[in-house]
Amino acid sequence: MRVQFWGATRSVTGAMYMLTINGRHVLIDCGLMQGRRKEAFEINRNLPFQAEDVDAVLLTHAHIDHSGNLPSLVRAGFHGHIYATSATRDLAAVMLVDSAHIQEQDVAYVNKRRLRQGKRPFEPLYTQADVLSVLPLFRSVEYNRPFEVLPGLVAQYIDAGHILGSASVVLDIQEDGHQFRVLFSGDIGRKGLPILRDPQTVGQVDFLVMESTYGDRLHETPDQAKESLRQAAETTYRRGGKLLIPCFAVGRTQEIVYRLNQLWEEGALPYMDVFVDSPLAANATEVFRMHPECFDEEILELMLREPDRDPFGFSRLRYVRSVEASKELNTLTQPAIIISASGMCEAGRILHHLKNNIEDPRTMILFVGFQAENTLGRKLLDGQNPVPILGEHFQVRAEVRRADGYSAHADQTELLSWAQQVHRASSIRTIFLVHGEEPSCQALAQVLSKEMQGLPIEIPYRGDMIELKL
């Protein structure tokens, strides 16, 4: 079997790995590359292989950096099956439509200027119509149920505990008279996260391809993270400002809402209104409600014990869908919490809230997720001042904080213990590290190699092709 690493190599976006097994091609994930606009657009538009030659896609989870380039793949001629858990399929449906909407808006904005300059307008990467041709290709598969993808390739999804429906993919391969197992971790979650079950592992793995997003860092515990959220709310409330939480609409938003709900029930949240200003978050929350098969015991027990209590909402919380209602939030004078996408401040309504509040020293911006290089979120965390928002420059007078404990990604210790658990029940020959910026993969490689007695660790570059065989 050959693996060619086409994305999320020494970086965290655009996850995409091409497998060649018995002469047939299977893609693991087909994510959107994010970062520098022009470069990302070119990479996303020009797939490095013939789309019609791909037999199937195995999708690990719905996050756009894993699923977001499926419309380009289908547009370029792919017509095979896209395998995913049913929760991933449902989430991907709402997320891809949203992503197309962003692509269309982005281009419309640029084209306004280009047309004024007499230049030819750009085409969006893909449109909502393209997304509609992706959806019929999905085939739902459930956790822990092996299925045949191609002759000689049986796949099995196990819970990755990262977002609703997220999976690691176990591949049992039969090629040239040999049988071996490859495990793709997908994005690995954390033990003890609310709502989701803990990440699962399997044994008998010969080759492991694993993520390393936080390979060089340790997170707060989920309890410390809850306390950071309480303190941020309290501080902002006391100075009469707004607490802005840029948040992935899917996963993180539901987790933050669940925590705010708990704080509210405990009487630990100041008396302030909470707005989830994202139609995508509202839609994704509906998908969460439809998939209790993915929930952990804590939330299932809560639902049984208090059937009237909504874990994704409470009396002071409102989901904002319409643009008008979103604009009304600008006129709020009392302290409030506004949760809005995108999580890295690259697009979406959060930009308007930042624009309106960033020069007010009473405002607090609380980051609860990973901020990739070259994003506005990273610039704010790095202390850049002023910052560009929607084409204008703004002074940063707001307080910028971060609460790492909300990460849906395992930290260094958690990644190590996950890999060790796999290794104890296997005899892994090589580990390939992907989905981490350079310092993260290097740090994790060192730790893994030290703790696992010199097991070979490789960090592929984009385009590297590696032969896996016994």
**Interaction site with Zn ion (CB under 5 A):** 63, 187
Joined together, the tokens standing for residue 349 give 């309504």
Nearer to Zn ion, 167 or 260 (CB): 167
Question: Cβ of residue 10: shortest distance to Zn ion, in angstroms?
Answer: 17
Nearer to Zn ion, 187 or 216 (CB): 187
The residues with which 178 forms a beta bridge, in sequence order, are 175
Measured CA to CA, the distance from residue 338 to residue 350 in angstroms comes to: 9
Nearer to Zn ion, 347 or 468 (CB): 347
Question: Cβ of residue 376: shortest distance to Zn ion, in angstroms?
Answer: 20
The closest of 262, 342, 33, 295 to 163, measured between CA atoms, is 295
CB 263 within 8 A of CB 272: no
The residues with which 147 forms a beta bridge, in sequence order, are 155
Nearer to Zn ion, 103 or 213 (CB): 213
Nearer to Zn ion, 63 or 101 (CB): 63
Question: Cβ of residue 63: shortest distance to Zn ion, in angstroms?
Answer: 4
Nearer to Zn ion, 188 or 387 (CB): 188
Nearer to Zn ion, 213 or 340 (CB): 213
Question: Cβ of residue 337: shortest distance to Zn ion, in angstroms?
Answer: 24
Question: Cβ of residue 119: shortest distance to Zn ion, in angstroms?
Answer: 36
Other CB atoms within a 10 A radius of the CB of residue 118 amount to 6
| Residue 120, C-beta contacts closer than 8 angstroms, at least 6 positions apart | 114
Nearer to Zn ion, 187 or 414 (CB): 187
Question: Cβ of residue 297: shortest distance to Zn ion, in angstroms?
Answer: 23
Nearer to Zn ion, 25 or 63 (CB): 63
Question: Cβ of residue 434: shortest distance to Zn ion, in angstroms?
Answer: 13
Question: Cβ of residue 163: shortest distance to Zn ion, in angstroms?
Answer: 6
Question: Cβ of residue 227: shortest distance to Zn ion, in angstroms?
Answer: 25
Nearer to Zn ion, 24 or 378 (CB): 378
What would the 3-class secondary structure string for the chain be? CEEEEEECCCCCCCCEEEEEECCEEEEECCCCCCCCHHHHHHHHHCCCCCHHHEEEEECCCCCHHHHCCHHHHHHCCCCCEEEECHHHHHHHHHHHHHHHHHHHHHHHHHHHHHHHCCCCCCCCCCCHHHHHHHHHHEEECCECCCEEEECCEEEEEEECCCCCCCEEEEEEEEECCEEEEEEECCCCCCCCCCCECCCCCCCCCCEEEEECCECCCCCCCHHHHHHHHHHHHHHHHHCCCEEEEECCCCCHHHHHHHHHHHHHHCCCCCCCEEEEECHHHHHHHHHHHHCHHHECHHHHHHHHHCCCCCCCCCCCEEEECCHHHHHHHHHCCCCEEEEECCCCCCCCCHHHHHHHHCCCCCCEEEECCCCCCCCHHHHHHCCCCCEEECCEEECCCCEEEECHHHCCCCEHHHHHHHHHHHHHCCCCCEEEEECCCHHHHHHHHHHHHHHCCCCCEECCCCCCEEECCC
Question: Cβ of residue 408: shortest distance to Zn ion, in angstroms?
Answer: 7
Nearer to Zn ion, 159 or 187 (CB): 187
Question: Cβ of residue 61: shortest distance to Zn ion, in angstroms?
Answer: 6
